[in-house]
Chains A and B, each alone.
Chain A
């Protein structure tokens, strides 16, 4: 299977289109035929992405997390190569790196690599299936998680605020209550933060939370939210909160500065989100008075 990718969106959308048990490597080739990097996939989820010239970067990130010097790291690396073990998981098994730190390092490295691979020009990609079993699923990532982090590279000053507000708005502990058994209901609550893109007609997702969204769903959510808020804002002088109810629950959207938030909740979700928003605004104005 081949693909012409002009952005990380195309790469992640391609991975979504693979079967749930797909395992292999998406090899990226630049215009002149030079291989520039790879995206490794295990059971339909992204393990990590590697870009030419960035090979040492992941090792450095892991060495820093494990507080290992260069010699110790080289020795561990040689062991892993000899015994065909994934380096990161070996560090976790040896107690040198925490599982959370490994996940963070893999995601950080993959998104920087993917941003580098797809951020400049169109690349060709070829899918090569291989046997599964090398990577533990707890150290793999959904396509939307990788895509949002990759596109967030272009909006770094907004990412932290987006992540905090998203986590407060869609807390994992809050159980959604959904009627029916549509796919929306099955996914439970989910939310995402978007920023308008200078180069694309649709907004860039920069953070995502909950549910098992595909890239396509995520982008449609962002497109709906920005256009609904554009129309609603034209009717109001003040900042607005918008919600549209369907049989399975409700979609909500609002803006905080340059960030557009959107998500799906049970029927009572909009009231909860509005309450949170009002509380945050009161706190902000109180803080301003001090």
Chain B
């Protein structure tokens, strides 16, 4: 997964729900030096009894915000969506750098 262009990740999930699995896995797929390279990662855990669905918000360097529904997409879908935008940014960055 291309994580260079992500500036902020906000996740909210109930760990006792099976549906929140992909959101949790997305957090674990971020690199180990993500925080030290300037990415803001906020994870909020919901209580066991809450029926709220898991939510994941990803913000990119160009200001685009992406609200991803982990329950429908699954971890592969989330990574695909994030990478689609990251690849465009990568292309732009390559062109401007020369």
A and B are interacting partners: no
A residues at B contact (CB < 8 Å):
none
B residues at A contact (CB < 8 Å):
none
